[in-house]
């Protein structure tokens, strides 16, 4: 959730230029809605120039690492939750998995970042970090379970590496960590034995694979913007010129000084009439 004033100004200017609906999400990200497909490379060109990267909301991957302000700004904080959250997000950004992944870091047991409702949650203690896994919100909320306690940062990251790669290798497609855990024979004890005690002898390989993923990361939108062949895909009309790409069927109205798409009732007059044969 950390952003500089210059970053906020840049997002605001870009959103205003392209007339985008702007919202801060529950995961401490900025969502921009209402862009047409031909505008995306231009928007991302400007976002990249302002220092922003893809949030990977379009993929089954890490969404965000939510955090409180931690010991830096809160009198209750016992460690730097923001600093760790940034380190974790930079490490796991772009990681593809069977389903979306959400993380959080809380600077104390007051749990302002809601780490115990995430796929991986971390809570600061007087002795280190507590690691929670397999939490979930949504239609069937599930409280995360304590995997390991009072970890130093290096060990914490090593365990998260193992956990993510073990999940990626063994879960079914579109299976969240919570469902994967519920279906796991042996439950939490088995998961602890694999991740913490290396009962299957996989730890070194899981860490190696994660290291490869981290080392080969790319900002996919930057790649798309800079590659002429990929960029060609972002056209509303293939045979139209650049100034004729806007789709007239995409229509908006205004609410609370921002745009929103017209609903079916509002668009009814513009529909093609049906003729009975």
Judgement on whether residues 225 and 260 belong to the same structural domain of the protein = yes
User: Which whole number is the average pLDDT over 44-57?
Assistant: 94
Judgement on whether residues 6 and 142 belong to the same structural domain of the protein = no
* Per-residue pLDDT, 210: 99
Q: Are the C-beta atoms of residues 71 and 79 closer than 8 Å to each other?
A: yes
* Per-residue pLDDT, 8: 96
Judgement on whether residues 210 and 229 belong to the same structural domain of the protein = no
3-state secondary structure of 171: coil
139-142 contacts at long range (C-beta below 8 A, 24 or more positions apart): 140/178, 141/117, 142/178, 142/182
26 band by pLDDT with thresholds 50, 70 and 90: confident
pLDDT tens-digit profile of 135-180?
A: 999 899 999 999 999 999 999 999 999 999 999 999 999 999 999 9
Q: Are the C-beta atoms of residues 170 and 180 closer than 8 Å to each other?
A: yes
In a domain, 72, yes or no: yes
Nearest to 260 by CA among 17, 22, 57: 22
User: How many domains does one find in the chain?
Assistant: 2
3-state secondary structure of 24: strand
Domain of 190, CATH number, reads: 3.30.413.10
Residue percentage of the chain with pLDDT more than 90: 85
In a domain, 277, yes or no: no
Judgement on whether residues 228 and 151 belong to the same structural domain of the protein = no
Cut 0.85: pTM above it: yes
Judgement on whether residues 206 and 113 belong to the same structural domain of the protein = yes
Residue 224: which domain range?
A: 1-54+219-268
Query: To 5 degrees, how large is the angle CA 83–CA 101–CA 142?
Result: 105
Cβ-in-10-Å burial (0-12, 13-18, 19+) of 108 comes to: buried
């Amino acid at each position: 959730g950390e952003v500089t004033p210059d970053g906020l100004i840049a997002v605001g200017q870009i959103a205003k230029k392209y007339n985008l609906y702007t919202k801060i999400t529950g995961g401490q990200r900025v969502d921009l809605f209402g862009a047409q497909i031909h505008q995306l490379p231009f928007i991302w060109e400007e976002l990249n120039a302002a220092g922003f990267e893809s949030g990977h909301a379009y993929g089954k991957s890490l969404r965000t690492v939510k955090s409180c302000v931690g010991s830096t700004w809160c009198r209750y904080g016992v460690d730097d939750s923001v600093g760790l959250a940034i380190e974790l997000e930079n490490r796991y950004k772009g990681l593809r998995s069977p389903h979306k992944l959400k993380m959080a870091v809380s600077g104390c047991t007051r749990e302002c970042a809601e780490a115990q409702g995430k796929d991986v949650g971390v809570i600061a203690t007087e002795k280190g970090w507590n690691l929670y896994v397999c939490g979930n919100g949504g239609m069937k909320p599930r409280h995360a379970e304590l995997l390991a306690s009072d970890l130093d940062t290096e060990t914490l990251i090593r365990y998260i590496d193992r956990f993510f790669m073990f999940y990626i290798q063994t879960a079914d497609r579109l299976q969240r960590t919570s469902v994967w855990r519920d279906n796991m024979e042996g439950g939490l004890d088995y998961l602890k034995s694999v991740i913490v005690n290396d009962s299957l002898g996989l730890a070194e390989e899981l860490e190696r694979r994660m290291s490869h993923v981290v080392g080969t990361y790319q900002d996919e939108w930057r790649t798309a913007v800079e590659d002429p062949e990929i960029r060609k895909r972002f056209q509303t009309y293939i045979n139209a010129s650049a100034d004729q790409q806007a789709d007239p069927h995409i229509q908006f109205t205004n609410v609370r000084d921002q745009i929103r798409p017209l609903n079916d009732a509002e668009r009814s007059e513009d529909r093609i009439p049906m003729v009975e044969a």
